[in-house]
Chain A
Amino acid sequence: MTVPAETPLVEVTGLRRVFRGGRRASFGGLGFGPRLECRAVDDVSFSIRRHETFGLVGESGCGKSTLGKLILDLLAPSAGRLRFDGKAPADWGKRAFRRRAQLVFQDSLGALDPRQSILAQVREPLDIHDVGPRGGRGAGRDELAAAMLHEVGLDEAYHGRYPHQLSGGQQQRAVIARALVLRPDFVVCDEPVSALDVSIQAQVINLLRDMQHRYGLTYLFISHDLSVVRHSADRIGVMYLGRLVELADGESLFERPLHPYTKALIAAVPIPDPRKRRDTPVLRGDPPSPFAPPPGCRFHTRCPHAEARCRSEVPELRALADGHAVACHLAERFAREVTA
């Protein structure tokens, strides 16, 4: 490989995706105005290092899933650049890129074909990409698929089953097996455990981690659940209304959050310990509509520290110390307060 090892596996620069909504701006209350635009992802730049888990957190509608789809080239960006292993996905070729970058969805039942057995579905990527020996019953590919299923904890008894005959946790294991059977380098996990019960969630999180170590995988781990992201991710990006507002390694983000939104988000998480009860919630009201984001810093309408500048000037994401980047005009002040 000509690419030096320190090149990040995934690099996005100024990525933007605009959706033109069916909703129209109100024109005298009649709804005849121009179609509203939603900047689901707006000027996002960051990179994902090899073999790390990059966590992406934010509340619903913040653009985290759209960003995941952009990075997998499942959606075309409106602007900006995506580099995977040093090249644009188009330069790798669609098939080669798909083989290296896979996806694990939240809704495992919806992601599986109800009319195919689990083994057939895990085998299908091998057929599509023409991997392993060709052949019919019992030959090569079935064995590769079976071995993959075994690795995720689904033994032979399950191979002939259909998705509806599996529990939610088993379905998610099958989805993971299907994503990993091609031995990809990179997997986007979009809310992989959100639909699962606590005990099953723990098993799937542990499984994803085991697979990462075994195959040297790089993950983009998208979740609304800060506790899950804290547990799973090495570095974490926080999104709010389409923009990346803070980026840091997990320890730094949770111990010394600098963006007021990150602080509010962390403070809102209920800790499973009655001796650590939370005070009254920091944030009041709902986030603004992504169809009509506020000017300046998008968080200023709910920010307890907002100043005049925050209402007009968009803060850029800029690095402070030790790889901790924040998009807040007042970040330096908060950083001083933390160290003082």
Chain B
Amino acid sequence: MSALGMLGAESFNLTGGGDPGKGVPLPSAALSRQPLLSLTDLVVGFGSAPPAVNGVSFSLAAGECLGLVGESGSGKSVTCLALMGLLPPQAVVRGGGATFAGRQVFDLDPRARAALRGREIAMVFQDPLGALNPVHSVGWQIAEALMLNQGLSERQARAGAVALMARVGIPEPKRRAQAYPHQMSGGMNQRVMIAIAIAAKPKLLIADEPTTALDVTIQAQILDLLDDLRRELDMALLLITHDLGVVAQMAERVVVMRHGTVVESGAVDAIFHAPQHAYTRALLGAVPRLDRRVARLASLPEALHLPEALQA
């Protein structure tokens, strides 16, 4: 492995992955950037159940797009909710640390964490209709974010909301600002969510399955928008998804999670073209692809499938 590779393996050591020699070279662009966020040995548990997130470590450079992939129950969403301080009450961060822009996130008092949320770290969820308020116009909901996070007056904020709606590609923004979420399509609502998220020009945008509920042609538009905004605002993007296609198209680096641990992480090209972990390989073999037809999809061996605790 090259010197660059060793450096990559060292600075992004994976506790969940076991063998640190599995570290994959980072793209040089990512290396030259300061880590904006680093998670170390994060453990999150729900009640007395085995931890949902068990020793997850990864880091993210400013302006970088990191893909967090895994199947349902792998702990990818819980990891991000822990970082945001949005865990449900029965879930507890049992260990590990998170450093964001030089601050220990878990040591901050609730007020400082609230200030971080929305201003420096913003989040977009899978279901925009569920995340938006049904009794306020979408323009008002964007304006509200501008008033809270930027301290704009109502008048300035309403004008700002229309400008943001135009930026995220909503046609006739002035008229649509008056519309309520139920009057808009799923794709348009997701654009509204993105407008709210970028209102404060955050340093990090966490997008949790942002296109899973959308049709494929709308998905392509939303992904394109997120990528544009990331470059324009030099905003890091943490993209949580189960869709390996979306990750391959968007991410610079990828973290593969399973059962609360990181099984593999590395540059996107290495993950897709030289996967080291059996689970990553199995997952890639299980996806039907448009660009090639195989006689039979790979099935994950049962042993790979079950959590270790359930294996005999």
Q: Which residues of A are in contact with B by a Cβ distance under 8 Å? A: 59-60, 197-199, 201-203, 205-206, 209, 224-228, 230-232, 250, 254, 264-278, 280-286
* A280: B residues at CB distance < 8 A: 224
* A209: B residues at CB distance < 8 A: 296
* A265: B residues at CB distance < 8 A: 216-217
Interchain CB contact under 8 A, B221 and A272: no
- The 3 closest A-B CB pairs, nearest first, are A270-B245, A231-B288, A281-B220
Contact with A along B251-294 (1 / 0, CB 8 A): 10000000000000000110011000000001111111111011
A198-B242, A230-B293, A265-B217 are known contacts; what are 10 more A-B pairs with Cβ within 8 Å?
A199-B305, A225-B288, A231-B293, A265-B216, A269-B290, A271-B291, A272-B287, A275-B272, A286-B185, A286-B188
Nearest to A267 among chain B residues (CB) is: B220
Q: Does B249 contact A (CB under 8 A)?
A: yes
With A274-B272, A281-B221, A286-B188 as known contacts, state yes or no: A269 contacts B296, CB within 8 Å.
Answer: no
Nearest to B71 among chain A residues (CB) is: A197
Interchain CB contact under 8 A, B294 and A202: no
The residue that A230 contacts in the complex, of B220, B242, B243, B290, with Cβ under 8 A, is B290
* A284: B residues at CB distance < 8 A: 221
Q: In angstroms, how far is the closest chain A Cβ from the Cβ of B307?
A: 12
Interchain CB contact under 8 A, B299 and A272: no
* B185: A residues at CB distance < 8 A: 286
Q: Does B72 contact A (CB under 8 A)?
A: yes
Interchain CB contact under 8 A, A203 and B249: no
* B244: A residues at CB distance < 8 A: 198, 272
List 10 A-B pairs, Cβ < 8 Å: A198-B71, A198-B244, A199-B305, A202-B288, A231-B289, A250-B293, A269-B216, A270-B219, A283-B220, A284-B221
Which chain B residues in 66-89 approach chain A with CB under 8 Å? 71-72
With A198-B71, A273-B272, A274-B272 as known contacts, state yes or no: A231 contacts B291, CB within 8 Å.
Answer: no
* A59: B residues at CB distance < 8 A: 215-217
Q: Does B300 contact A (CB under 8 A)?
A: yes
Q: In angstroms, how far is the closest chain B Cβ from the Cβ of A144?
A: 27
Interchain CB contact under 8 A, B248 and A271: yes
Q: Which residues of B are in contact with A by a Cβ distance under 8 Å? A: 71-72, 171, 185, 187-188, 215-221, 223-224, 242-249, 251, 268-269, 272-273, 282-291, 293-294, 296-300, 305
Q: In angstroms, how far is the closest chain B Cβ from the Cβ of A107?
A: 15
* B188: A residues at CB distance < 8 A: 286
Nearest to B241 among chain A residues (CB) is: A270
Nearest to B74 among chain A residues (CB) is: A197
* A205: B residues at CB distance < 8 A: 288, 297
Q: In angstroms, how far is the closest chain A Cβ from the Cβ of B65?
A: 11
Chain B at the A interface: mostly helix, strand, loop or mixed?
helix
* B300: A residues at CB distance < 8 A: 199, 202-203
- Give CA–CA (A272, B299) in the complex, Å: 17
Interchain CB contact under 8 A, A277 and B286: no
- Give CA–CA (A286, B217) in the complex, Å: 9
Interchain CB contact under 8 A, B286 and A278: no
With A230-B290, A271-B249 as known contacts, state yes or no: A199 contacts B219, CB within 8 Å.
Answer: no
- Give CA–CA (A274, B305) in the complex, Å: 26
- Give CA–CA (A286, B215) in the complex, Å: 10
- Give CA–CA (A224, B218) in the complex, Å: 13
Interchain CB contact under 8 A, B297 and A272: no
Q: In angstroms, how far is the closest chain B Cβ from the Cβ of A155?
A: 13
Q: In angstroms, how far is the closest chain B Cβ from the Cβ of A28?
A: 18
Nearest to A280 among chain B residues (CB) is: B224
* A201: B residues at CB distance < 8 A: 286
Q: In angstroms, how far is the closest chain B Cβ from the Cβ of A205?
A: 6
Interchain CB contact under 8 A, B272 and A206: no
Q: In angstroms, how far is the closest chain B Cβ from the Cβ of A113?
A: 24
Interchain CB contact under 8 A, A224 and B286: no
The residue that B245 contacts in the complex, of A272, A281, A286, with Cβ under 8 A, is A272
With A271-B289, A271-B291 as known contacts, state yes or no: A199 contacts B283, CB within 8 Å.
Answer: yes
* B243: A residues at CB distance < 8 A: 270
Interchain CB contact under 8 A, B220 and A278: yes
From A201, A227, A280, residue with most partner B Cβ within 10 Å: A227
Interchain CB contact under 8 A, A271 and B245: yes
* A231: B residues at CB distance < 8 A: 288-289, 293-294, 297
With A198-B287, A199-B305, A273-B248 as known contacts, state yes or no: A286 contacts B297, CB within 8 Å.
Answer: no
Nearest to A58 among chain B residues (CB) is: B215
With A275-B273, A284-B221 as known contacts, state yes or no: A199 contacts B290, CB within 8 Å.
Answer: no
- Give CA–CA (A335, B128) in the complex, Å: 41
Nearest to A251 among chain B residues (CB) is: B293
- Give CA–CA (A282, B244) in the complex, Å: 21
Q: In angstroms, how far is the closest chain A Cβ from the Cβ of B14?
A: 20
From A59, A269, A278, A280, residue with most partner B Cβ within 10 Å: A269
Nearest to B243 among chain A residues (CB) is: A270
* A267: B residues at CB distance < 8 A: 220
Nearest to B67 among chain A residues (CB) is: A274
* B290: A residues at CB distance < 8 A: 226-227, 230, 254, 266, 269, 271
Q: In angstroms, how far is the closest chain B Cβ from the Cβ of A265?
A: 6
- Give CA–CA (A264, B220) in the complex, Å: 10
Interchain CB contact under 8 A, A274 and B248: yes
Q: In angstroms, how far is the closest chain B Cβ from the Cβ of A93?
A: 38
The residue that B269 contacts in the complex, of A225, A250, A275, with Cβ under 8 A, is A275
Nearest to B222 among chain A residues (CB) is: A281
Interchain CB contact under 8 A, A60 and B249: no
Nearest to A229 among chain B residues (CB) is: B288
Interchain CB contact under 8 A, A272 and B284: yes
- Give CA–CA (A272, B269) in the complex, Å: 11
